Structure 1
């Protein structure tokens, strides 16, 4: 006999399909709680931090530059003092963290007193 006998498939096919989808659903749930949800929370916190950015705050940019916020001209950019007399405009989204919160007041830079007077 060259042809093997064919067996009919069992009638409980819907239960087998549910059992085959269960690992995929479980993997999605694990990914949601371990990856997606914490990332959304981190993005929400970062957006709130950028929204609270004020003049006088000491910040770190994405490039690692540490400076003090001189002014916030609009919603997209910030002017940062990185040295005496050196101001750069950076995008608000490139600020990675706020080191210290400023008072929000404009402060005068004290000039050193001359030795002869």
Structure 2
């Protein structure tokens, strides 16, 4: 067992270091970004101006657990998934 660790110890250590670097540089920042986006979506309420992933600017008129309705002009409401909101303007 000890000879096996001595032979492959450097390789195992290198793998562990690369896994840690990968986690801290790629996975952790992405998790933080997703959490921030989810908090923004959860805080939406009617009357808030938003921009969608398609670049459409509008005002939230109603929210359901799955969808959001955005008013873009008089009499024009678009229904889309909640995740398609990328930015809140006010």
Check whether TM > 0.5.
yes
The residue aligned with 1:90 is 80
Helix, strand or coil for the counterpart of 1:12?
helix
Structure 1 residues not aligned, in runs of 5+: 1-10, 101-117
Instruction: Determine whether 1:62 maps to 2:53.
Output: yes
Measure, in 2, the Cα distance between the counterparts of 1:69 and 1:86: 12
Note the C-alpha offset of 1:36.
0.3
1:42 is aligned to 2:12: no
Deviations 1:13-48 (A, max 9, x none): 321211111111111100111110010011111111
Query: How far, CA to CA, are the matches of 2:50 and 2:73 in structure 1?
Result: 13
Aligned residue pairs total: 89
Larger radius of gyration: 1
CA distance in 2, matches of 1:50, 1:67: 15
- Coordinate RMSD, CA, aligned: 1.3
Match of 1:25 in 2: 16
What TM-score, normalized by structure 1, do the two folds share? 0.71
More strand by share: 2
The gaps in structure 2 that reach 5 residues or longer are none
Match of 1:107 in 2: none
